[in-house]
Structure 1
Amino acid sequence: MSNYADSLHHLESYIAARVPVIGMRTVEQQRALRLLREAAGQPRRSSMPFWIYTRATGLRDLRTNSTVIDDRSFVGAMDFAAAQFTSRANATVVFVDPTDLEGDNQMSRHMAELARLADTNMGSVVVITDSPIWSGLQRLGMSIQLDLPEPDEMYAILGRFLGDHRGHIPVEWDESDTRRAAEFLRGVTEAEAVNLMATFAAKGSVLKPDVLGLAQAKDRIFSDLAGLERIPLKAGSYAVGGLTNLREWLGRKHRLMHEDLRGTHLRPPRGVLLVGVPGCGKSLSAKAIAHEWQLPLYRLDMGSIHGKYLGESESRFREALAMADRVAPCILWIDEIEKGLSGRHDTTGVPARVVGHFLFWLQESDSRAFVVATANDVRSLPPELMRKGRFDELFFVDLPDAEDRREIIQLYYRLYLGQEPDPVQMDRLVDLSDGFAGSDIAAALHDVGTEARLSGGTGHLRPAFVLDTFANTVPLSKVHPEQIQEIRAWGLQRAVPAGRSPMPSGPVGGGGPRRILFTGD
């Protein structure tokens, strides 16, 4: 049963039982009013009066929308309700978004007195609000949580919209497209969904590519996200060199990300944990996935999650994950996750509780938020995070081998110099870059591209300068060899290699830092 149908069932039960206070918590006032009108419109309630008060329209009849009194003030509506509850039975008065009902104050106590008065003569007070209600008032009755539309209800909303437009504009969507769109629109209100669909219909058609376009358009309605940083993707390529196994695995997950999984016990892909050597493409992979999958990218900043007050960190973390569910489908990037979840040397218990919330979310959430978490010091992560079933897979990103280095050099040569490298020069660059991470190669070729720009173009660049730049670049594997070897020793035995095959775990490249000058052209 959908949340709407479930809420309608509870509302009708409370009205039939003449519960004195019915609190309806929702951010969708119009959807809540439709729910009330549906309950009030039952033939068996035709003799029961229903009135509704809003600040904009004052007090009106719920069924006919006719004005009841000229006084549009909240106090006037309260006085009218008190008079009705005193003089007649089975009266129901609805208050939409009343103010100052969250705490113990004069207004909430006034509303509680009104509810007690209603109770003496089989009356009901219905409060529609998006804020909590004072416990002293809420305990006089019952509450209903009207959540955002679930996929089945969203499918019906989209079906009605498309049905209204078929015959007027070309509509290419079939049932499968509508189902996918309903999944993509999870986390938005009914009004937001209709507005998004209207923007597509306004261009004169609803086409197949608009299904995926909904995920991108949906992203524009969210701003100021708690704990999440929207990462804009610049126009251009986010290609990742090497990492062949990871890229093939992601290709399969991409297909599943858009599959209709109703009727199965499968859930959408949860995400991937990338561990390994710094600078080898872990963070870039998150951007590349978002770019290739055409999904918005959000970064969960673990530094902004932790607060100084008791329970603040856990609350912020829960809020951030809830927002990730709402903006899905998306890529949720958690960079250097060990810095936020490591419990080493901690005596407060905060990291353990944050880890608990994260594990629960990974296990139970069925939203299409695909997590790309990266870690350098994986040993500080709690072991339960790496258990199968949390993330879909644990990949180890190692230093690139010769073939991967060739691919990375070619990629950045095109990017920074706008041309293909000479085959002979390419072979020498592959040899010189032994022990380089992808970031080392990118930095070296960026320097080459800068020099070419200052020299008047690639035609004025000495070929030997490129070799000099690579030869005089000291990679991280030479600066911190012990740390890199420790990381590699762990990953090569405990994770799936992200590249074609794992490199030997012995010393990288041999020898110490090199200073070689190529003088000839």
Structure 2
Amino acid sequence: MKLLNRMNELVRACFSGIWIESFEHTDAIAELSEMCREENWQLATWDIDCGLSHASGAASEVEAQDPLAALRTLGAMSSSETPTLLVLQNFHRFLGSAEIVQAISRAVNEGKQQRTFVVILSPKVDLPPELEKLFIVIEHALPDRNQLSEIASGIATEAGELPEGRELDAVLDAAAGLSRYEAEGAFSLSLVRDGRLTPDSIWELKIQAVKKSGLLQLHRGGQTFDSLGGLESLKAFTRRSMVRHGRGEGQPRARGVMLLSPPGCGKSEFCKCVGNEVGRPVLTLDVGSLMGSLVGQSEERTRQALAIVDAMAPCVLMIDEVEKAFSGAGSGGNDSGVSSRMFGTFLSWLNDHTSDVFVVCTANDVRRLPPEFSRAERFDGVFFVDLPGREQKDAIWTLYLDRFGLDPSDPKPADDQWTGAEIKSCCRLASLLDVSLTQAADNIVPIAVTSAESVERLRQWADGRCLSADHAGVYRTQANPKRRRSVSTKPSVN
């Protein structure tokens, strides 16, 4: 629901204390002014710079830098016939004063009889205990696709500047999650650079906007599934689930997948490829970056990050090594329950979010995760990514030999227990050191050897519990050759 409609309801219901969470004060005040003009209501605004002014633009005689004086004039502005709204910008900065808290409490309570409304406009909700029960909190949401389309139409006014059809969808997808101010700047930059609206310039500013939040990272590489060897069943499942559903209301949406495997088997690379494969940005959430030093800050940052993710839909959300982030959620730990509350917030969002966000979580040790994390309807599938088989390894060798400019006819080392990461490392070292593949292999000890017991325990756990990433159906250990032999670095007979 738009801010204008929500505010209209609250004023008519006589909620005399309203807190609007917004980063775009100019646009919020413009919407409130439009509402008051249509309803013939009175509107006054106050900020620390300009002081008190009425909607007509006439300045008040009240001292510009006195927030208490502005509150005390609200009663004098009241009218028995029409509601009067006083909008206080960034007023959360003054709520550490007992006098101001008391003045707001009095103004809100008196507003029920006088039909006066205290509206605090702030980028964050920071209510003291004395005011918590007096205010209702609403959000001035970021612009949706329709609003972004209107902004684009208002900027790209010349013939040929505004694309149509799928090109316009790509532009709006790139702008999703930007504020109105940021979207206007991105569209204008695109016109200056390209002469029409294109996604590339918009993505540049969008990456900056995500970086400024400090909560997420935006990945935009060139990889697709063609640059990733193996994982055929996982690729087909993901591509089919994300491409088939449309944008229409009521259509089922893909939720995401959880990937379990030993380290180095391609989980993270898959996450980076899936976005380009289906034409979506990939957001990376580092749960460690959400931790704050103040009480309640970690939980608030978690909610902020998830709100950004929702606003940037359709997108892919990647959480790498999720067991390290949430492993202490069910054990009590020594963090006063912060991990448990963050985990609860994320679980609730994972289960209830309606935005078109495809979540990919990776884990190397599922036993450290609470069991409720991977239940049905939180993910579309839980896949086990085993060490690659012969066909997958051949595809990976071909991929990296070409990438690092190596001779494909050179003898390859025995790779019985190698992961895709170790094949890549061998090719990279051969190119870096200018040696043969077999000589480069002398510098590599596979994870299946250094952590053989952990790898085997993970396989045993996944047996019958996970889907196979390489072939259709449930993963079974007996369907895969055992890899318990020691690694040899002698050239293969092939």
TM-score (norm 2): 0.81
Aligned to 1:512: 486
1:181-240 Cα shifts (integer Å, max 9, x gaps): 556644433222333223223346445xx3587456423223343543x26566788922
Aligned to 1:401: 389
- Flag structure 1 segments of 5+ consecutive residues without an equivalent: 453-460
SS in 2 for 1:40: helix
Task: Please tell me the residue identity of whatever aligns with 1:33.
Answer: I
Aligned to 1:65: 57
1:33 maps onto 2:23 in alignment: no
Q: In the aligned structure 2, how far is the partner of 1:147 from the partner of 1:510?
A: 59
Aligned to 2:457: 486
1:273-327 Cα shifts (integer Å, max 9, x gaps): 1112221111222223345456544433344456788766545444433343344
SS in 2 for 1:394: strand
Task: Please tell me the residue identity of whatever aligns with 1:40.
Answer: C
Equivalent pair of 1:3/1:149 in contact (CA under 8 Å):
no
Aligned to 1:371: 359
Aligned to 1:129: 122
Cα 1:488–1:173 shift into 2, 3 Å = same
Equivalent pair of 2:223/2:273 in contact (CA under 8 Å):
no
Q: In the aligned structure 2, how far is the partner of 1:240 from the partner of 1:338?
A: 24
Aligned to 2:417: 435
Equivalent pair of 1:485/1:506 in contact (CA under 8 Å):
no
Cα 1:133–1:370 shift into 2, 3 Å = same
Equivalent pair of 1:271/1:371 in contact (CA under 8 Å):
yes
Equivalent pair of 2:71/2:104 in contact (CA under 8 Å):
no
What are the residue-to-residue correspondences of 1:71-470 with 2, within 5 Å? 72-74=64-66, 78=70, 81=73, 84-85=76-77, 90=82, 92=84, 94-97=86-89, 99=91, 100-103=93-96, 105-114=98-107, 121-131=114-124, 132-134=126-128, 136=130, 143=136, 145-149=138-142, 151=144, 154-159=145-150, 161-162=152-153, 165-174=156-165, 185-203=175-193, 205-206=195-196, 210=198, 214=202, 217-228=205-216, 230=217, 239-255=227-243, 260-267=246-253, 269-293=254-278, 295-305=280-290, 314-343=299-328, 346-348=331-333, 352-416=340-404, 418-422=405-409, 425=410, 429=412, 432-452=414-434, 465-470=436-441
Equivalent pair of 2:316/2:357 in contact (CA under 8 Å):
yes
SS in 2 for 1:512: coil
Which stretch shifts more, 34-43 or 308-317? Answer: 308-317
Offset of residue 449 of structure 1: 1.1
Equivalent pair of 2:162/2:168 in contact (CA under 8 Å):
no
Q: In the aligned structure 1, how far is the partner of 2:366 from the partner of 2:4?
A: 46
Cα 1:368–1:420 shift into 2, 3 Å = farther
Offset of residue 404 of structure 1: 1.0
Cα 1:397–1:31 shift into 2, 3 Å = same
Cα 1:90–1:101 shift into 2, 3 Å = farther
Equivalent pair of 2:43/2:86 in contact (CA under 8 Å):
yes
1:109-152 Cα shifts (integer Å, max 9, x gaps): 23444556666655444443334344545755x5351331463x
Task: Please tell me the residue identity of whatever aligns with 1:273.
Answer: M
Aligned to 1:458: none
Equivalent pair of 2:382/2:467 in contact (CA under 8 Å):
yes
Q: In the aligned structure 2, how far is the partner of 1:353 from the partner of 1:79?
A: 37
Task: Please tell me the residue identity of whatever aligns with 2:53.
Answer: R
Cα 1:253–1:196 shift into 2, 3 Å = farther
Q: In the aligned structure 2, how far is the partner of 1:355 from the partner of 1:138?
A: 25
CA RMSD of aligned residues (A): 3.9
Aligned to 1:42: 38
Cα 1:74–1:400 shift into 2, 3 Å = same
Task: Please tell me the residue identity of whatever aligns with 1:32.
Answer: A
Offset of residue 55 of structure 1: 3.9
1:429-462 Cα shifts (integer Å, max 9, x gaps): 37x212211122122222211232xxxxxxxx6x
SS in 1 for 2:384: strand
Task: Please tell me the residue identity of whatever aligns with 2:307.
Answer: A
Q: In the aligned structure 1, how far is the partner of 2:491 from the partner of 2:167?
A: 60
1:10 maps onto 2:9 in alignment: yes
- Flag structure 2 segments of 5+ consecutive residues without an equivalent: none
- Percent identity over the alignment is 24
Cα 1:143–1:72 shift into 2, 3 Å = same
Offset of residue 155 of structure 1: 0.3
Q: In the aligned structure 2, how far is the partner of 1:128 from the partner of 1:515?
A: 67
Equivalent pair of 2:214/2:289 in contact (CA under 8 Å):
no
TM-score (norm 1): 0.78
Q: In the aligned structure 2, how far is the partner of 1:288 from the partner of 1:500?
A: 19
Q: In the aligned structure 2, how far is the partner of 1:380 from the partner of 1:306?
A: 20
Equivalent pair of 1:84/1:91 in contact (CA under 8 Å):
no
